[in-house]
Structure 1
């Protein structure tokens, strides 16, 4: 089970000085020891959290599609190709990375969750769910579960997997014995279809999905997510 600890991520400053980005994951992964700008675009998809401290232009990502979600703060006024879109907390918004985009901060600084994918190769989705202490939320392969608010723990595996292991006579002594791991704010759980991580708690979770695009799928960029 893999947990990406937000507190351990290095902030990467924007070229325009208006904020900083902490990168949770990218594909292809950066080479060992590589230091890159927050907006270098040398990947096919990236999941990150940005701290926006000043109004100004957003970086362009040619050939990319973006899903932006305000996760802290009240309001981001996002202008995309001349059209203004008021983005409130926990409402994902989809737009093209080729657009001329800028943000204003009428209520102060914000943080936003960014999912950026190369058009025609991958499609990104963001959903915001409310966690439960009674029913665990699984995080599958191709997904990230990011704790936005509240308290939560993550455990590996499920009752169904434990039962299957018991039926096969293997691993029954160890199934489900790993202690749940606490999650801090903005920590990300990497999904898996083997020993699928399950998150329990109270608060709100962002579920980010990165799906490969079927070349036969005619679907394109949407307006709002």
Structure 2
């Protein structure tokens, strides 16, 4: 089970000095959060100064305000008021600038290379009774509240068949499955998804679930 601790992420200053970015994950892994050598990147940025956003030619962006009240984002001359927890998709190569009418904000950024990957951000409310699984190709970031994560069940822990046998052989007596201990998450920690043993998150608060899907190309 892979957990990316926000407190351990290195802040990278923006090229224009308007804020800092902490990269959560990228593919392929870049030497710097700003070098653009990746096909997709997930990051959290602190915006403390109004001004232009960096452009990312050939990329598509999804931005979500996760702390603070409002970001006024102007994209290609059109103004968009972005409220907290409302993801907004726009072209990375479009001229874009921000205004901060209610003060500093923090945002979650998903940037993906157009035609190769597609990024999605969903904001969900956590439950203390029903665990939320994190699958392969996903990252789950705790935005607020209190939550813990456990590894999901191993494939071998699933019951074999209704009559207790498999391939004509008698099933061995089932041994009690020892569940893994839960790990507490701090604010903005990220859980990396898996399809072999999908982590499961329980708690109270809000979670951002980021999905990065590879674009399938039609063969002629």
TM-score (norm 1): 0.88
Which of the two has higher C-alpha Rg?
2
Which consecutive unaligned segments of at least 5 residues does structure 1 have? 218-225
Checking the alignment, whether the CA contact within 8 Å between 2:142 and 2:207 is kept in structure 1 is yes
In 2, distance between residues paired with 1:207 and 1:173? 34
Match of 1:92 in 2: 87
In 1, distance between residues paired with 2:156 and 2:9? 32
TM-score (norm 2): 0.90
Distance 1:162 1:192, change over 3 A: same
Checking the alignment, whether the CA contact within 8 Å between 1:129 and 1:204 is kept in structure 2 is yes
- 1:72-122 per-residue CA deviation (whole Å, 9 max, x = no partner) reads 000000000000000000000000001000000000000000000000000
In 1, distance between residues paired with 2:178 and 2:21? 36
How far apart are 1:147 and its partner, in Å? 0.2
Tell me the C-alpha RMSD between the 2 structures: 2.1
Checking the alignment, whether the CA contact within 8 Å between 1:60 and 1:99 is kept in structure 2 is yes
Match of 1:61 in 2: 56
Match of 1:21 in 2: 21
In 2, distance between residues paired with 1:26 and 1:165? 38
- 1:5-25 per-residue CA deviation (whole Å, 9 max, x = no partner) reads 000000000011110000000
1:138 matched to 2:172? The reply is no
How far apart are 1:214 and its partner, in Å? 1.1
Number of aligned residue pairs: 211
In 1, distance between residues paired with 2:22 and 2:10? 6
Which consecutive unaligned segments of at least 5 residues does structure 2 have? none
Match of 1:157 in 2: 152
Match of 1:109 in 2: 104
Checking the alignment, whether the CA contact within 8 Å between 2:137 and 2:193 is kept in structure 1 is yes
In 2, distance between residues paired with 1:129 and 1:185? 15
Checking the alignment, whether the CA contact within 8 Å between 2:154 and 2:196 is kept in structure 1 is no
Checking the alignment, whether the CA contact within 8 Å between 1:158 and 1:176 is kept in structure 2 is no
